[in-house]
Amino acid sequence: MHTKTIAAFLLGTALALSETGSALAQDKTVKIGVLTDNSGLYADLGGPGSTVAAQMAIEDSKLAAKGWKVDLISADHQNKPDIGTAIARQWIDVEKVDVFMDVLNSGVALAVNNVVKEKNSVMINSGAATSDLTNAQCTPNTVHWTYDTYMLAHSTGQALVKAGGDTWFFITADYAFGHALERDTAAVVKAAGGKVLGDVKAPLNNADFSSFLLQAQASKAKIIGMANAGGDTTNTIKQAAEFGIVKGGQKLAGLLLFLTDVHSLGLNVAQGLNLSSTFYWDMNDQTRAFSKRFAERTKNKAMPTMVQAGVYSGLLHYFKALEALGGNPHDGAKVVAKMKEIPTDDPLFGKGSIEPNGRALHPAYLFEVKTPSETKGPWDYYKLVGTTPADKAFRPLSESACPLAKK
């Protein structure tokens, strides 16, 4: 090959590479997938409302006016990990989804977590509770935004033990979420000098809790810890009332209780329950403004749960990372690394940060459900009991089994 030919070839290659790099930098097409429970026991606390929250984040980001093309799709994983992973692979390989939002159900989330890492996309999880997502099963591609079992255990569990609830019996949802919540809460109870007198595992989406409640009642434990969520929790509480368990002197601990659960139960049944959350619609002017806009766009005019609020806030932060990168949303690990670099700051969760293990830090709040005479109107259900600061609410990096935490 002549010298001039070689020079021309090298120049052509350099120009082609430059154009490719420029195209990547200018790639401003992003696709968002809300993977949730649209029809089962968690549909009210995530479900269609999570898709509404994602749409609101897209609009509020104003990315379209900045030259971005943003698409949104959603699907129902039916609380089945195999269905969740099948959808995840289809979304990434065929639909070209860049980021997974919500991903309710810990079993589904842990399964999708592996697919997201393998395919180098992104998961911003606001729905699943298991703290394993940022502990033993952490990846460079996942951010756990809203809450987790460690936070729930150290907020609700610790408060109840300090208040004298030193003997516990657990009614636990028999899958990854329930197991993690019981594990983390039992550790807190024991560390505070309490005792776990027993536990029973209940199938997911169960209708009859009578046999489990009778075992809990017979244990004489001061606290019956409900390591379940959604419809399972409301069924447990309703049936406990029928058995007169609270009147008999035992206390129910809703270790994961959502605003929609309290709404479903009604204040006559739910009054006095303690619960932990990282978001409540009536905290301040900003949360109220968002929540009223959200309610106007939902069928039942419901105020948002912390899961739905987490979808909105997590997606807004994701968009900030994309803007900082200038484009190319398809390298998931790179986008998540940028998300960790930028301090979090949004109207619903306030100022915070994302740890190297993917754990988003923000304050956690302990609430008590109001009595019917204390409420001032629809969805006015909580009174604030205490606040755990962001740096104390979640597992310290020094205790994390995540390899990313050691770097």
User: pLDDT per position in the chain (407 positions), as tens?
Assistant: 554 544 444 445 444 444 444 444 568 999 999 999 999 999 999 999 999 999 999 999 999 999 999 999 999 999 999 999 999 999 999 999 999 999 999 999 999 999 999 999 999 999 999 999 999 999 999 999 999 999 999 999 988 998 899 999 999 999 999 999 999 999 999 999 999 999 999 999 999 999 999 999 999 999 999 999 999 999 999 999 999 998 899 999 999 999 999 999 999 999 989 899 999 999 999 999 999 999 999 988 999 999 999 999 999 999 999 999 998 889 999 999 999 999 999 999 999 999 999 999 999 999 999 999 999 999 999 999 999 999 899 999 999 999 998 86
Distance between CA 115 and CA 86 in Å, rounded? 10
Residue 1 is predicted with a pLDDT of 52
Residue 2 is predicted with a pLDDT of 53
Cα–Cα distances in angstroms (integers) from residue 384 to residues 251, 277, 283, 347, 389, in the given order = 19, 10, 9, 19, 14
Judge contact between 256 and 131, C-beta under 8 A.
Answer: no
Cα–Cα distances in angstroms (integers) from residue 285 to residues 23, 280, 366, 381, 402, in the given order = 42, 12, 20, 17, 37
Count how many residues are written for the chain.
407
Cα–Cα distances in angstroms (integers) from residue 407 to residues 344, 398, 402, in the given order = 21, 11, 10
Tokens representing 362 are 């923000």
Domains and CATH numbers, the chain: 30-147+283-358 (3.40.50.2300), 150-277+364-389 (3.40.50.2300)
Residue 101 makes CB contacts below 8 A (sequence gap 6+) with: 32, 33, 34, 35, 50, 54, 124, 126, 311, 314, 315
Residue 328 is predicted with a pLDDT of 83
Which of 160, 218, 150 is closest to 189 using CA atoms? 160
Distance between CA 266 and CA 237 in Å, rounded? 11
Judge contact between 223 and 168, C-beta under 8 A.
Answer: yes
Nearest-5° Cα angle at 42, 274 to 231 = 60
Judge contact between 259 and 283, C-beta under 8 A.
Answer: no
Residue 9 is predicted with a pLDDT of 46
Judge contact between 330 and 98, C-beta under 8 A.
Answer: yes
Q: Which amino acid is located at 298 in the chain?
A: T
Tokens representing 86 are 């099948």
pTM of the predicted model, to two decimals?
Answer: 0.92
The distance from CA 87 to its chain's CA centroid, rounded to whole angstroms, is 19
